Amino acid sequence: MCLSTVFMHVDDTDREIMRDVARVEAEGDGVWLISLLGEKRFVEGIVRTIDLIDEHLVVLEPPRAG
């Protein structure tokens, strides 16, 4: 099973948002993060990187202004 940790990339720093994410669903200006246990969290931002092989992580960045 492949669970991921999701980070927000701001000012050249990755800040952890959520661990054990089993599903990521895009909606509007952001994504829903859903854990293995069904916890849901909506985060505004766009996907920067998804690595499901080496580090099992998803990196988001804040939505672009304008």
Q: 11-63 pLDDT, tens per residue?
A: 999 999 999 999 999 999 999 999 999 999 999 999 999 998 998 999 999 98
HSE toward the beta carbon, residue 57, CA cutoff 13 A = 14
Number of structural domains in the chain: 1
Could you list the residue range(s) of the whole structural domain that residue 17 is in? 4-61
Please check whether residue 16 lies inside any domain of the structure: yes
Please check whether residue 34 lies inside any domain of the structure: yes
What's the distance, CA 24 to chain centroid?
7
What pLDDT score was predicted for residue 51?
A: 94
Distance CA 66, CA 35 (A): 31
